[in-house]
Structures are given as structure tokens and as C-alpha cells.
Homo-oligomer: A and B are copies of this chain.
Amino acid sequence: MKRPIWLKREHLRSIIFDDDTPAGRRFDIVLTIAIAVSLIILFIESSPSLPYWLKFSLGVLEGLLTVLFTIEYIARLYSAESRRAYALGGWGIIDLMAVLPPYLAFFLPGARYLLILRSIRFIRIFRIFRLFSFLNEGELLLQAIGRSFHKIAVYFLFVFVLVICLGTLMFIIESGQPDSAFRDIGTSIYWAITTLSTVGYGDITPATPVGRLLSSFIMLLGYTLIAVPGGIVTASFINTTNDPVRNGRCPRCDAKVRKGDKFCSQCGEKL
């Protein structure tokens, strides 16, 4: 604790990475506001008809924020306990992506819009409100969805094939009409997805009686199909709560298992 430069680094670290010191909390709040401001600037700048003075001042403000975020990234990198772990870890990469776009934009004009990745940093908002239990909930949610990933993947392959067939059928039926919106099979498949997902923009709609009959059938099908992922996810959520392992049973062979067991002693199922 006698080396002043190390002390400084530790002090910086407590401000940047901690959230239980007053300085750390203040830092997090300022950072979240800065991110929000930088996003709002991006939104306003995207508008085509801006007066010159506004465009100019927004540009200046954005430059300032970029400098600030750059300093912040360097400070983070400098003060991190393990610089390597930070730079290559998930948050380190997100932080870097929040800094780089304006620099990349010198070479690649479109890169500016990568700034939007700053929105991911909003997730830090939990740190301000100390809502870590929320993040646990989020993890449980992801687990429940992840556990039903296999079923959902199969389901979407089925929907994919269905949508290709229905789109083509609709193209055959409707494309004969003058001024039909079903111009090609690609558009028809886009229409089938719009209908099956119950979005229904209405930019492409059937005009023939047969087309409307088929549409009605697709809508009622979508009505039922929309229930399937819901059923999968809900069953997964309920199984998280009614966990058979918790009830002392192997979920596969129904044999009794003990609390600490990692594998079923009868069938080897991972618990």
C-alpha cells in the first residue's frame, strides 16, 4: 500500500468497477446519462432535414462524448485487476465497441451507426439500482429458453418449410391478377410470414376469393401455431419450478436421487 501509483490504480478501480462506494455510484449514473445522450444525438442526427447549426452542435457534442468514452475505456483498461481478462471479456468488448465507431467512421462512413451498440451498455443500469437479483432472474429466463431451444429449432424448421410452400401456393393463385402485389415468390413468402405471425401489415393482401380462402386458412393456422412456442417456453418455466431433481427424482428414469448427486446413479443422466 506504499506504492502511490498502485494505490491510484486501485482507487480508480473502486470508482469505475465498484458500485457500493458513493464515488462509484456517481460514476455509474454519469456514464448512463452520457450513453443516453449519445444515443439521442444519433437519433436526431439521422433525421434528413436538420438546420445547419443543430447539425454542427450535435457533431461537436458527439465528438466530446467520444473523447470522454475513449478516456473511460483507457481508464478501465488501466485500472482493471486483470487487463487481459477485461479486454477479452464480454463487457470489455462491448465497451470497446462503444468507443471505436466514430474512429472507424473516418474510413467507413456507415460505421457511425455502430454507435447504436452503445445501447447494450444500458444493461449496466442494473448496477445503479443495485438490482442484481434482476440479473439472476434474467439468467433463469435464458436458461428456461435455452432448455427449450431444441424444440424451438425443430419448430422453426417446420415453419420455414411451411412458409415456402404456402408462399408459392399463394403466388400461383394471386399472380395472375392485374396489379397484384404478389410480384414474385420471395414477396409471397414474405407475405406468408407476415400473415402467419399475425403481424399483417396490409401492404400485400389477397384480392381473389380463392386467395382469401387460403389466407383465412393460414390465419387460423397461425392462430394455433402461435400457441406452440408459448407452450414450449411455459412448460420449461414450470419445470424450472417443479424441478424433478428437487423432488428427489431423476427426470429421465424416475429413480430416487440424493440432494448432492450430480448424475443419476441408475441411468447416468446429468442432473
A residues with CB within 8 A of B: 39, 42-44, 46-48, 110, 113, 116-117, 119-120, 122-123, 125-126, 133-135, 137-138, 140-141, 144-145, 150-161, 164-165, 168-169, 171-172, 175, 183-187, 189-190, 193-203, 205, 209, 212-213, 215-216, 219-220, 222-224, 226-242, 246, 254
Does A134 contact B116, Cβ atoms closer than 8 Å?
Answer: no
Q: A48-B183, A183-B48, A186-B43 given as contacts; is B229 within 8 A of A168 (CB)?
A: no
Instruction: Give the docked Cα–Cα distance between A194 and B206 (Å).
Output: 12
Q: A116-B165, A203-B205, A223-B226 given as contacts; is B183 within 8 A of A47 (CB)?
A: yes
Return the chain B residue nearest A156 by Cβ: B220
CB within 8 A of A232: which of B122, B155, B237, B239?
Answer: B237
Does B227 contact A160, Cβ atoms closer than 8 Å?
Answer: no
Q: A150-B137, A184-B46, A228-B145 given as contacts; is B171 within 8 A of A197 (CB)?
A: no
Q: A201-B202, A242-B242 given as contacts; is B154 within 8 A of A141 (CB)?
A: yes
What residues of B have a CB within 8 angstroms of the CB of A153 in the complex? 134
Does A246 contact B254, Cβ atoms closer than 8 Å?
Answer: yes
Given A123-B157, A198-B199, 19 more A-B residue pairs with CB atoms under 8 Å apart are: A46-B184, A46-B185, A47-B186, A48-B184, A116-B164, A137-B150, A137-B151, A138-B151, A138-B154, A144-B231, A145-B228, A186-B209, A197-B220, A198-B200, A199-B222, A203-B205, A228-B233, A231-B234, A235-B241
Instruction: Give the docked Cα–Cα distance between A242 and B158 (Å).
Output: 26
